[in-house]
Amino acid sequence: MESEATNKSRVVMVESGESWDFYISQATTQTRPIAVHFTASWCLPSVAMNPVFEDLASSHPDIPCFSLLMWMLSSAIFTKIRLQIFGDLIPSHEAGNEHRVVSSGNFILMEAAAKMEVKAMTTFVLMKDSAQVDKIVGANPEEIRKRIDSFVQSIPSNIA
């Protein structure tokens, strides 16, 4: 279902809407907070933050950490995303983009990012009970560490 690194990364790379729904449902059922990194391979600051997120995931083993790989932002509005993915394709219904296609399996990822108002790479979202409680935009390792540490400390120890 998900790609898995040989070094047993604690960060799960969510690659489909089905997986996203599954993990969010599990976290909600188990009342577990989660940390999400919206990243893109074409965004150098985003790529540079991947090891920072890995370190944070290792430092906080009770907090599930997920990366959502976004393929391309065409503007600051996330609804303008273009996915470069092969597979079951459906026409995009964005105004003026009738010839673009998005993967039906990844449409939910776009919806999740839009719901969280992710408009830039790199973005980190902290969630509890399937709701966003904090968002960090940009590649600032110290700020991300500080906010995630604060988020973890705010959670009762019997939950995290």
Question: Tens digit of pLDDT for each residue in 88-129?
Answer: 333 334 444 333 333 444 566 777 888 888 888 889 999 888
| Angle 3-137-57 from CA coordinates, rounded to 5° | 40
* CA dihedral sign, ordered 82, 112, 58, 49: positive
d(CA 69, CA 56): 18
How many other CB atoms are found less than 10 A from the CB of residue 142?
8
Q: What is the pLDDT of residue 144?
A: 94
What's the 3-state SS for 40-57?
Answer: CCCCHHHHHHHHHHHHHH
Fill in the amino acid letter for 6: T
Whether residue 142 is predicted with pLDDT greater than 60 in this model: the reply is: yes
Side-by-side strand order, sheet with 131-137: 11-14, 65-69, 34-39, 123-128, 131-137
**Lowest-confidence range among 1-10, 106-115, 137-146?**
1-10
In the structure, what pLDDT confidence band is assigned to residue 141 with cuts at 50, 70 and 90?
A: very high
Domain boundaries, the chain: 12-153
Whether residue 86 is predicted with pLDDT greater than 70 in this model: the reply is: no
Question: Tens digit of pLDDT for each residue in 12-71?
Answer: 888 777 888 888 888 888 888 888 888 888 889 988 998 999 899 888 888 888 887 765
Q: What is the pLDDT of residue 129?
A: 86
pLDDT higher for 159 or 27? 27
pLDDT higher for 84 or 49? 49
Q: What is the pLDDT of residue 135?
A: 95
Question: What dotted CATH number matches 12-153?
Answer: 3.40.30.10
Beta strands in the chain (DSSP E): 11-14, 34-39, 65-69, 89-91, 101-103, 123-128, 131-137
Whether residue 158 is predicted with pLDDT greater than 50 in this model: the reply is: yes
Residue with tokens 């074409």: 42
